[in-house]
Chain A
Amino acid sequence: MAFTTPATMGGASARSITEGLTKRGADRKGKIIEGILVGLLGLSLLVLLTLIVDLLTSSWSVWTTRPGDFLTTNLNSQSAAQAGVGQAIRGTLILCGIVILVAFPLGIACAVYLEEYAGRSWFAKIIRINVRNLAGVPSIVYGLLGLAIFVQAMSGFTGGRTVFAGGLALSALVLPIVVITTSEALRAVPRSIREGALGVGATPWETVRSHVLPSAAPGILTGTVLSLARAAGEAAPVLLVGAATGLLRTGNQSLMDQLQGPFTALPVAIFSYARQPGEDFRSVTAAASLVLLAMVLAMNAVAIWLRNRYERKW
Chain B
Amino acid sequence: MAQDQQTGITLEVPSKAVSDEAPMVFRTEDLEVHYGPFRAVREVNLDIRQHEITALIGPSGCGKSTVLRCFDRMNDLIEIARVGGKVLYHGVDLYGPNVDPVEVRRRVGMVFQKPNPFPKSIYDNLTFGPRLSGIKKKDELDNIVEQSLKSAALWDEVKDRLKSSALGLSGGQQQRLCIARCVAVKPDVILMDEPCSSLDPIATARIEDLMKELAKEYTIIIVTHNMQQAARVSDRTAFFTTEVNEESDRRTGVLVEYNPTSKMFSNPDDTRTEQYVTGRFG
Q: State the main secondary structure of chain A at its contact with B.
A: helix
A interface bracket (residues with beta carbon within 8 Å of B):
20 to 34
Q: Which residue of the partner chain A has the closest CB to B102?
A: A203
Tell whether A210 pairs with B128 under 8 Å between CB atoms, given A193-B118, A200-B181: yes
* B109 CB within 8 Å of chain A: yes
Chain B 106-154 interface residues, beta-carbon cutoff 8 Å to A: 106, 109-110, 112, 114, 116-119, 128-129, 132-133
User: A291 to chain B: which residues have CB within 8 Å?
Assistant: none
CA distance A150 to B128 in the complex (A): 44
Listed residue (B103, B129, B185) with the most chain A CB atoms within 10 angstroms of its CB: B129
B79 lies within 8 A of A206 (CB): no
CA distance A120 to B77 in the complex (A): 11
Chain A 116-138 interface residues, beta-carbon cutoff 8 Å to B: 119-120
CA distance A199 to B74 in the complex (A): 8
User: B105 to chain A: which residues have CB within 8 Å?
Assistant: 198-201
Tell whether A197 pairs with B128 under 8 Å between CB atoms, given A119-B79, A215-B119: yes
User: A44 to chain B: which residues have CB within 8 Å?
Assistant: none
Listed residue (A194, A196, A198, A215) with the most chain B CB atoms within 10 angstroms of its CB: A196
Q: Which residue of the partner chain A has the closest CB to B126?
A: A200
B112 lies within 8 A of A196 (CB): yes
* A188 CB within 8 Å of chain B: no
Q: Which residue of the partner chain A has the closest CB to B113?
A: A192
Tell whether A192 pairs with B128 under 8 Å between CB atoms, given A201-B106, A201-B185: no
A199 lies within 8 A of B72 (CB): yes
User: A119 to chain B: which residues have CB within 8 Å?
Assistant: 79
Task: Give 5 pairs: A residue, B residue, CB < 8 Å, sorted on A.
Answer: A194-B77, A197-B128, A200-B184, A201-B102, A202-B128
Q: Which residues of A contact B (CB under 8 A)?
A: 119-120, 190, 192-203, 206, 210-211, 215, 312
Q: Which residues of B contact A (CB under 8 A)?
A: 72, 74, 77, 79-80, 102-103, 105-106, 109-110, 112, 114, 116-119, 128-129, 132-133, 178, 181-182, 184-185
- Given contacts A201-B133, A202-B102, A312-B119, could you give 6 more A-B pairs where the C-beta distance is less than 8 Å? A196-B181, A198-B74, A199-B110, A200-B128, A201-B185, A202-B132
Which 3 A-B pairs have CB atoms at the shortest separation, nearest pair first? Answer: A201-B106, A200-B129, A192-B116
